[in-house]
Structure 1
C-alpha cells in the first residue's frame, strides 16, 4: 500500500496535460507566433531540440535537453515526442506557473532555491510532501550542493506531476491512499519517467 500525506496532490488538473488550458486572447496570438518561429521545419509540431531553442533560464542559458524531452513527452499528444501548437500553449502556461512559484522563493535572485524554499514552493503549488520526500527530490535534482536551479526545478515538477497523475489514476476514491499490485506499480512508474 502506498499513501500520500493528504489527498492534496498539487495543481488541480482538468486534463493530464496541465493545470488549466492556456489562456486565450492577445497572449494566445503571441504564443502562436512564437511557436511558428520555433517550428524550424514548419511541420506544425516542435521537437525537444526546437523547444530547447525557445526556453531560456534566467542566466540566458538554455534548458537542458533532458528537461525539454520531459516537457515534450508531457505535452505531446499520443506520446508522439513532438508537440503541436495546443500542447505548446499548455506547456507555456504550465512553465509560467512553475516559474512564478520558483521566483517567489528565490528571494536573492541567485537562480537556485534551497531545500526549505523547495518545500515551500511545492506547498504553494498544492503538494503536501514530507520533509523526507522534499529532501529526496532535492537530492535527485540538485545542481549545486543543497540547492536546485530553475531548470532542475522544472525537471522535478514534471516528474512529480507525472507520478502524481499515475497515483491519481489508482486513487479512484480520492483518499490519498492506494493499494496497488507490484506489476501495476512498475508500469505506473515506468510510464511516468
Structure 2
C-alpha cells in the first residue's frame, strides 16, 4: 500500500509555527497558531464568513471564567446540564451562510475535545473547542481567496499543499467528491448556494487527511512511501481513527 507518490512521497510535516497547519501531533486539542496568514483579509468582512457559533443570550459567568466564553457555553448548553452533548453542539454550530454544520464534522469535533471520553464536553473542554474553531476560521479565510464562502478545487489543493500533503490528482478528485456536497450528489446541501467545500467540511477534510497520513507514517518505518501490513494491522489502524 503506498501513499502520496505524487509530488515526492507523502507530504512533509506542516512546519512548526507555520500558519495554517492542522493541529500538531500528540493532541488534537492543539490548533493552528494565530497570526501570520491567519490575519483576516481586509475585504473579507463584507462577505459571508466561514461560520462558527450562533449568537448567545447574556448570562452570568462563574467566578474565574471568561464572561464571553461562558455566555457561549451557557447558550449551547440548552438543557443546563453543565456539559454539552453532540446534539446541542450540532444546533449551535453554523457555517458563514447560516447552514448547519455537517453532523459528521460535529462528531469529529466532539471526539477531539471530549478528552475524558464522557460523551459530552465540559466548560474547560469547550474552551479548547472555541479556540480551535476560531483558528480554523482564519485558515479558511486565507484559502477562500475568491471570498465565495466555500473552498473550490484550486483553493483546496493549495491548502493541502501548504499543510505538507502532496496528494495525487486522483486522490484530490476523490477528496473533493467526498467533501463537496455538489460533487458528491449533484445537488446542493440544505441552504448551500454554490459548489465548493463549506467551512465545516473543510475542517473535517483537513483533520481526516492529517490523521490518515500520520497513521500511515507510523507504519512506514523506513519512510519509503510503501507499507506492508496484515489484516489485523489494517483494521486496528482504521478503527483507531475518530
Q: Are 2:170 and 1:121 equivalent residues in the alignment?
A: no
Aligned pairs for 1:109-148 (under 5 A) are 109-145=147-183, 147-148=196-197
> Match for residue 8 of structure 1?
12
Q: Distance in 2 between the 1:21 and 1:103 partners?
A: 13
Q: 2:215 aligns with which of 140, 144, 166?
A: 166
CA distance 1:148–1:168, change in 2 (3 Å): same
Structure 1 counterpart of 2:233: 184
Equivalent residue number for residue 120 of structure 2:
82
Structure 1: gaps (5+ residues): none
CA 78–109 in structure 1, closer or farther in 2 if over 3 Å, else same: same
Structure 2, unmatched stretches of 5+, are 15-21, 35-64, 184-194
Distance 1:41 1:167, change over 3 A: farther
Q: Do 1:112 and 1:148's aligned partners in 2 also have CA atoms closer than 8 Å?
A: yes
Q: Secondary structure at the match of 1:192?
A: coil
Tell me if structure 1 keeps the 8 A contact 2:150–2:199. Answer: yes
Structure 1 residues 148, 170: CA separation in 2 closer, same or farther (over 3 Å shift)? same
* Cα root mean square deviation, aligned: 3.1
Aligned residues: 189
Deviation at 1:118? 0.4
State the SS of the aligned residue for 1:113.
Answer: coil
Query: Structure 1 or 2: larger helix share?
Result: 1
